């Protein structure tokens, strides 16, 4: 049996007049869909640390803080079918975080060189995220379950 790839995903929430979720799109790659920060946990790294690192790497946001882990999902990769175990975390972003920005990904990871268009979307989302990444938002607040998405 193949061991699952250990991953994290981050629901970064900003509270203004209404709660909003940080998402991004790959500039020039619309087929990738709208996503939340997510990726693999490095050797020796704790899951909360990995969630903060993924947020920083994929969005450039350095001011998010971890609130709590909300779910662990065992689900194969949508393209390769390889097993994955993803811990979903609720993070908080300051209310004065910009509404939108572009982030150029640096480093030596798979996303290096990509440009991500980051923005906040009001909750609940009107459309599901890529790979059903929004499936666990209702664990933070039942009112945040995606209107057209899953209701787990």
List the CATH code of the domain at 5-144: 3.90.79.10
Question: How far is residue 78 CA from its own chain's centroid?
Answer: 16
Predicted local distance difference test score (pLDDT) of residue 147: 77
pLDDT grade for 148, boundaries at 50, 70 and 90: low
| Nearest-angstrom CA–CA distance, 74 and 71 | 10
DSSP state of 35: B
**CB of 128 closer than 8 Å to CB of 150:** yes
Domain borders along the chain are: 5-144
- Nearest in space to 101 (alpha carbons), one of 85, 86, 83, 119: 119
Using the structure block, give the residue that is written with the tokens 């909360």.
48
Cα angle 72, 124, 37; round to 5: 45
DSSP state of 134: G
Give the predicted TM-score (pTM) of the model: 0.92
List, for residues 43-100, the tens digit of each pLDDT value.
999 999 999 999 999 999 999 999 999 999 999 988 888 999 999 999 999 999 999 9
């Amino acid at each position: 049996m193949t061991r699952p790839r250990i991953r994290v995903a981050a629901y970064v929430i900003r509270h203004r007049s209404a709660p909003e979720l940080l998402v991004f799109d790959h500039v020039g790659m619309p087929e990738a869909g709208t996503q939340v920060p997510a990726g693999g946990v490095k050797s020796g790294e704790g899951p909360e640390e990995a969630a903060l690192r993924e947020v920083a790497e994929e969005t450039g946001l350095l001011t998010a803080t971890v609130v709590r882990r909300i779910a662990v999902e065992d689900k194969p990769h949508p393209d390769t079918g390889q097993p994955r175990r993803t811990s979903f975390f609720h993070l908080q972003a300051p209310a004065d975080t910009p509404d939108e920005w572009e982030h150029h990904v640096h480093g030596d990871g798979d996303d290096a060189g990509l440009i991500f268009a980051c923005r906040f979307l009001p909750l609940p989302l009107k459309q599901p995220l890529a790979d059903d990444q929004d499936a666990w938002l209702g664990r933070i607040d039942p009112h945040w379950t995606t209107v057209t998405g899953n209701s787990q």
